[in-house]
Structure 1
Amino acid sequence: MELPVTPPVAPMLAKAVTTVPAQPADALEWSYEPKWDGFRALIFRDGDEVVIGSRGGKDLARYFPEIVAAAKEELPYKVVLDGEIGVPHLIDGTHRLDWDRLAQRIHPAASRVALLAEQTPAVFIGFDALALGSEPVMAEPFRVRRETLVEAIGPGSRDRHFHVSRVTTDPVIAQDWFSAFEGAGLDGVVGKRLDGPYVENKREMVKIKHKRTADCVVIGYRVHKSGTGLGSMLLGLFHEGELRMVGGAGAFTDAKRQELQAKFEPMRLDPDKPASGEPTRWRSEKSGEWIPIRPELVAEVAYDQMEKGRFRHTVKFLRWRPDREPESCGYDQLEVPLTYDLHDVLEGTD
């Protein structure tokens, strides 16, 4: 590819905050936009060559042939955009992004990919630009990159695959979006500094989500006390290249327990070893016998608090994340802002 910005590019990330940041009294510092619930993707188009870079750097183009075709029809000859891929679905008369249908698009069979591209076509919602023509814009402030994005995609319509995310500089409107857009399959609100450049792999944006979640690597499981099915799954996060155990997810239905055990059994690291075995760094005599599996699957879980690098309580399994690479699941996603000092809580007078 002969572009001013070439793949792979690690996308700019966001850190979690609890509220929509306010604008300073004397200036506009923030741009706010909806947080789209899909696969993060960077689109690189150089003529007939199109690459769809995932957050982990892999090319997703083979899974979304309709996006590749649309890029050649709807985008400029040379362009690099950042955004989200989603699958709209009509539910009770309203279109919303459907995560389950999106996750099904990651399939190894080419025939299945082609069928799903027709049955559940995806869209790309652009929210940043990295280059247009021969000009890179990553070093430019977001004000300029936003203008470049709008120029590259143009006016949207329902029959197009490429769209531009809406934005506002009004924090009141952003807070309204946080509540009003949830029914459309959105995941909260993102804030970007209007004068900030595009910084690879840095948490320069902020995000306000509807729930506290984490993407974790499944590193093992425990058989249910009944002797059949999965009792709980063991979760890990990477820290300085090392995979560390952070807790477990449980409370599955009988059908789900059977499904998960069948999914994990072929991935066992000790297929010839019975469920009971010697304690390991993830398995102790007191905590029960865990069966280690290949650390290849990423699960999104809901949690309440972290304590000493681990989840304080058992977490809730939400969904699989086929768009995430295990190595990308680190502690940095769990950043929690310090909203109260302990003494403020103890001495407060409500």
Structure 2
Amino acid sequence: MASPEKDQAPVHPPPPPDPELVSYPPFFLQCNAGVGGAPPPPPLPPRAISSFDVVAIDLQRLDAASLGEACREWGLFRLVNHGIPTALKVEIEAEARRLLALPFDAKAARFACPSIAYFWGTPAMNLPLKKLNWVEGLHIPLANLRSDRSAVDFDGFETFRNLVDEYGRHMARIARTLFDAIAVDLNLDRTMLSSYLLEDDGTFRIYRYPKCTNANDYLAMEAHTDSSILSIVNQDEVGGLQIWQNDGWFNIEPISNTLVINLGDLMQAISNDEYMSIEHRVSVNESKARVSLCYFGFPTDSCSISSAKYRKFTYKEFKMQMQEDIKAFGSKVGLKRFKIDAQNA
């Protein structure tokens, strides 16, 4: 007769908990586990068809006509020879991953000052969007980062501040160079160029898209257009950025040492709809978290924008209307509010 010890199956210790999960917003953990009263996700729109071959623009050999063609045809392009040191991207990504890997409660408590703010679920900063975005990140107004010397309660903040400041200056250089070439293509009023783009006061956001066991049920970022003049995206190797073209979603694959530039609503208005603000979204990855470095260039608040297709409005009015729409409807209405033939909802 076999001994009881031999009949028993070997006991294996449970796998150690994933340390990364400590940093996730609790609501994400509930959705992943399907517990805690998390609502079922809404049906997702169609998945991406294939990859999109994005036209490349060389910043060192910038041609206004070629740039204008990309802006008219697609509303985005890939930028090469941009001059950002590879080491800088590596360092700032490492710092971003370190900071966003902090426990959730620590992030929410520490990042709450004029120069840096933590968000999750939506980058709209406390505005109630209709859909949960599977995203968290740091919102950094670059002008505030340089002027705000208040103490921030975490080790290494000065190192992080200096890295972001250096990166932001590269973003300002790139944004101004591109916009000046765009101004030539569109024959814009030269006296308006400084108010159309306040490049040194741009917004920098670090996005982390946590991994999601139910990757087919959520989007990391819902479909939208940016409200900027232009946006500069520096992807990591994970990928997930998608654009809407020709009645379908297409992947924008990450390519090392390149940037993805997409145009925003205000650039479309300034161009009188010659250029298009590209609709895009971000998919969720089941096994890897994704980090993206994003810069958004805007006009001055008092900048007056008008063209044959839009009534005259300032950037400040545009922001206020967008915030009112998000509060009322859960999503922005955007340029439709300012079309000359538009009937306001």
TM-score, length basis structure 2: 0.23
Higher strand share: 1
Higher helix share: 2
TM-score, length basis structure 1: 0.23
